Each structure stands twice: as structure tokens, then as C-alpha cells.
Amino acid sequence: MSQSSWKDQIKKKWGPHSHCPICGKAMSTDKKFCSQGCKDNYFESERKQKRKGRLQCVFLIVMLVVMMLVMFILPAFG
């Protein structure tokens, strides 16, 4: 059996569909999520990722400032 015939058989059996990015369930191609719960979970995880990224940036900037202060203050005492 060739690859194209295998794909054709799948298309005939299931028809055009896509999968939910959260739970993986099959759904119609016009929808992005299978349910409101999956949509809410997606946007909640996106919000948490953005918050985590902002906190990491703030932490890195604070550490850079602390390191610069240590570099300029410690030689003055030596």
C-alpha cells in the first residue's frame, strides 16, 4: 500500500477535520478549540507564560544592576 492511498483512506474515513491544541480531540476545521473549557485553559496558560516572561526580564535587569553596583563599589574599598 502506498503512502498516498493510506492518506486517501484516512480522509475518506474521517473527512476534513482538525484537532484541539489543548486536548487533541478531533473537531471541525472551522473551530480553533473543541470547547469553551479548552479555550479558557489555552488563554490562561498564555497569560501565565507572559507573566513568567516579564518576571524573568525584571529579575535579569535587577541582577545586572546589582552586578554593576558590586563591580564599581568593591574596588573603591580595596
The reported pTM is 0.63
Strand partners, 22: none
Query: What pLDDT, on the 0 to 100 scale, is given for residue 68?
Result: 93
Query: What pLDDT, on the 0 to 100 scale, is given for residue 5?
Result: 81
In this structure, is residue 6 part of a structural domain?
no
- Calpha distance 6→36 (Å, rounded): 33
- Residue range 11-65, pLDDT digits in tens: 788 788 899 999 999 888 899 999 999 999 999 999 999 999 999 999 999 999 9
In this structure, is residue 8 part of a structural domain?
no
In this structure, is residue 67 part of a structural domain?
yes
In this structure, is residue 60 part of a structural domain?
yes
Residue carrying C-alpha cell 473527512 = 15
Confidence band of 1 (pLDDT split at 50, 70, 90) = very low
Contact 23, 33 (CB under 8 A): no
Residue 2, all three cell numbers: 502506498
Residue 34, all three cell numbers: 473543541
Q: What is the count of structural domains for the chain?
A: 1
